């Protein structure tokens, strides 16, 4: 979503690096680049003007002129101002003192309200709540059926007394839905309302009548993050007609320029509370302004990554896996379990993209084929329990059987097994304090460097590689590509041949070994 803005901001900051002092011309040049970047990202002109004014004022002040590194100080100012226009602090849901808490969703048709109702219900269930969805969109064809489907996927109760498709009274359904939730002891009610393709008087009147009938604790305005400049006019119209309390950005995983996220908060004064980042019900997260600003500036989002890891990984299981690694008893069965857990956190491209400095690899991340991970799982699942526990048993005939069972090549099986042994050896060495392979150990640590004054054994000359006496065999060996640090024959991630994939992303070896 913010790729274009991220690129332009990085280009603007590049000219600042290495300068010990910033002149007025330097500040004006950076401000001009940032202004162009924001306007190109479809941010509202009024927001851009105010944002640039604050940056120039602060960059020209004493906090930059007296800084040890003025360039970094300007980047810090831009980060703080981005956090400010995105809302400053994280805004959390306000729950009613006496349940149920009523949350009303409003927005245009196509913004993703119904799907988001299911995502919000699943998120609330993870928080220990018992949500009920109320189908008040009785106009759009099959809207009621869609809510029942997503509600079922989220494991939430759906109150839908009317079939919809143009029949029924949405105000009555909303009022009765809250009463039913109170009777059945549901502590949260999510009211899904109707939308239109454009703003009209009938839409606003119906939304206002529902709000009056149920007196919601929160009114969330769902807006498509891809609509650009139209976001401002739409948000202002709903603010006047419904008076929402918070904003939810849908389709934040799209390829639009992201101006809506930076404009709505400043124009309406209402905070962005949630963001929908994909098609799955789990692609939903609370909106943190500081973390979003960090992503825009390519500083990563390690806090979100850690939170997702804490949800997916069990602490006791992780401790057992670490002990197995240290003891050398880590098997392919354990490796498969770790990969399954990692998959619960989301796609590999999204996870790696949350790391600082990965913006420069966004093209490779976009081209990374998630099916490569599925191949690895298929290979391991095609093994017998004994083969998973002891991969040394996997000889040539077994590898042929495994490749046939998993629909892969024998070379793929060979690459996976070889890399598994290499990764396990490296992790054992790190667990024993030996450090990373190819790096000197730390003095005083197990497996570390020699103590000062200790006698050094004379370095023995390495023996050359043995060669076959058969000329034909020797020529065949010499023509075979040798293994290097990245794998055999230029293999990519998990031992699969990447030569035909051009610029497809390969997970860094350090990350592969930790998986």
| pLDDT tens by residue, 424-434 | 777 667 656 54
- Measured N-to-C along each axis, helices 45-59 and 259-268 cross at an angle, to the nearest 10 degrees, of 90
pLDDT confidence of residue 23: 75
* Long-range Cβ contacts of 67-73 (<8 Å, 24+ apart): 70/16, 70/19, 70/20, 70/21, 70/22, 71/13, 71/16, 71/17, 71/18, 71/19, 71/22
Distance CA 316, CA 314 (A): 6
198-207, 307-316, 370-379 — which is least confidently predicted?
307-316
Percent of the chain whose predicted confidence (pLDDT) is above 70:
62
Please name which of 248, 300, 256, 253 lies closest in space to residue 275, comparing C-alpha atoms.
Answer: 248
Q: Which residues of 239-271 are buried (b: 16+ CB within 10 A; e: fewer)?
A: bebbebbbbbbbbbeeebbbbbbbbbbbbbebb
pLDDT confidence of residue 151: 94
SS3 state of residue 274: strand
117-121, 187-191, 325-329 — which is least confidently predicted?
325-329
| pLDDT tens by residue, 210-221 | 999 999 999 999
Say yes or no to pLDDT of 311 above 80. Answer: no
Say yes or no to pLDDT of 310 above 80. Answer: no
Pairing, β 272-276 against β 246-250:
parallel
User: H or E segment at 424?
Assistant: helix 410-431
16-30, 240-254, 398-412, 484-498 — which is least confidently predicted?
484-498
User: Would you say 87 and 293 are in contact if contact means Cβ atoms under 8 Å apart?
Assistant: no
| pLDDT tens by residue, 377-388 | 889 889 998 888
Average pLDDT over residues 230-249: 84
pLDDT confidence of residue 158: 95
Average pLDDT over residues 336-361: 63
pLDDT confidence of residue 280: 84
SS3 state of residue 491: strand
User: Which of residues 415 and 465 earns the better pLDDT score?
Assistant: 415
Distance CA 150, CA 59 (A): 49
Domains of the chain: 3-85 (1.20.120.140), 101-297 (3.40.50.300), 315-439+485-514 (1.10.260.30)
pLDDT confidence of residue 185: 93
Banded pLDDT at 327 (limits 50, 70, 90): low
Average pLDDT over residues 107-133: 91
pLDDT confidence of residue 515: 47
Distance CA 276, CA 282 (A): 9
pLDDT confidence of residue 503: 42
| DSSP-assigned letters across all residues of 445-478 | STT-PPPTTPPPPPPPPPPPPP--S-HHHHHHHH
Percent of the chain whose predicted confidence (pLDDT) is above 90:
18
Count the residues in the chain: 515
Cβ-in-10-Å burial (0-12, 13-18, 19+) of 337 comes to middle
Distance CA 139, CA 202 (A): 12
Average pLDDT over residues 123-127: 92
Beta sheet of 157-159, edge-to-edge order: 157-159, 131-135, 188-192, 101-106, 218-224, 246-250, 272-276, 284-286
Banded pLDDT at 502 (limits 50, 70, 90): very low
Cis previous bond, 54, omega within 30: no
The listed range with the strongest mean pLDDT (164-173, 337-346, 354-363) is: 164-173
| pLDDT tens by residue, 139-198 | 888 899 999 999 999 999 999 999 888 888 999 999 999 999 999 999 999 999 988 777
Say yes or no to pLDDT of 112 above 60. Answer: yes
| DSSP-assigned letters across all residues of 341-370 | HHHHT--HHHHHHTSTTGGGGHHHHHH--T
Banded pLDDT at 260 (limits 50, 70, 90): low
User: Would you say 428 and 435 are in contact if contact means Cβ atoms under 8 Å apart?
Assistant: no
Banded pLDDT at 254 (limits 50, 70, 90): low
Q: Quick count: other Cβ atoms within 10 Å of Cβ 449?
A: 13
Average pLDDT over residues 251-267: 68
């Amino acid at each position: 979503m913010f790729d274009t803005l991220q690129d332009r901001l990085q280009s603007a900051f590049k000219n600042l690096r290495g300068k010990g002092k910033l002149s007025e011309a330097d500040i004006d040049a950076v401000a001009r680049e940032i202004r162009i970047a924001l306007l190109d990202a479809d941010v509202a002109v009024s927001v851009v003007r105010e944002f640039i004014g604050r940056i120039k004022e602060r960059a020209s002040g004493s906090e930059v002129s007296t800084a040890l590194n003025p360039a970094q100080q300007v980047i810090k100012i831009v980060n703080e101002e981005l956090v400010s226009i995105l809302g400053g602090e994280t805004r959390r849901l306000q729950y009613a003192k006496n349940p149920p808490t009523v949350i009303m969703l409003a927005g245009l048709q196509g913004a993703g309200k119904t799907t988001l109702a299911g995502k919000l219900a699943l998120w609330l269930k993870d928080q220990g709540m018992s949500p009920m969805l109320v189908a008040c969109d009785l106009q759009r064809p099959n809207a009621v059926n869609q809510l029942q489907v997503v509600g079922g996927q989220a494991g939430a109760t759906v109150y839908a007394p009317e079939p919809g498709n143009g029949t029924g009274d949405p105000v009555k359904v909303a009022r009765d839905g809250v009463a039913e939730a109170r009777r059945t002891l549901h502590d949260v009610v999510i009211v899904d309302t109707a939308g239109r393709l454009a703003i009209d008087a009938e839409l606003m009147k119906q939304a206002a009548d529902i709000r009056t009938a149920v007196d919601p604790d929160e009114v969330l305005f769902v807006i498509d993050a891809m609509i650009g400049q139209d976001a401002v006019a739409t948000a202002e119209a709903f603010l006047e007609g419904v008076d929402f309390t918070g904003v939810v950005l849908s389709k934040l995983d799209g390829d639009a320029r992201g101006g809506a996220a930076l404009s709505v908060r400043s124009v309406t004064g209402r905070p962005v509370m949630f963001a929908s980042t994909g098609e799955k019900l789990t692609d939903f997260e609370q909106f943190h302004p500081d973390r979003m600003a960090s992503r825009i500036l390519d500083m990563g989002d390690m806090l979100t990554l850690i939170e997702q890891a804490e949800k997916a990984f069990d602490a006791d299981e992780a401790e057992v896996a670490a002990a197995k690694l240290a003891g050398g008893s880590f098997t392919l069965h354990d490796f498969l379990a770790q990969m399954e857990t990692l998959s619960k956190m989301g796609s590999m491209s999204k996870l790696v993209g949350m790391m600082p400095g990965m913006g420069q690899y966004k093209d490779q991340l976009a081209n990374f084929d998630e099916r490569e991970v599925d191949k690895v799982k298929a290979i391991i699942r095609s093994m017998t329990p004994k083969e998973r526990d002891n991969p040394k048993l996997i000889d040539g005939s077994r590898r042929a059987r495994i490749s046939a069972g998993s629909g892969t090549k024998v070379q793929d099986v060979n690459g996976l097994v070889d890399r598994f042994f290499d990764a396990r050896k490296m992790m054992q060495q790190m667990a024993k304090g030996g450090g990373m392979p190819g790096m000197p150990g730390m003095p005083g640590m197990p497996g570390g460097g020699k103590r000062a004054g200790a006698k050094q054994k004379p370095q023995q000359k390495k023996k050359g590689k043995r060669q076959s006496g058969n000329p034909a065999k020797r020529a065949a060996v010499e023509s075979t590509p040798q293994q290097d640090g990245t794998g055999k024959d230029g293999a990519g991630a998990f031992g699969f041949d990447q030569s035909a994939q051009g610029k497809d992303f390969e997970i860094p070896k350090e990350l592969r070994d930790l998986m």
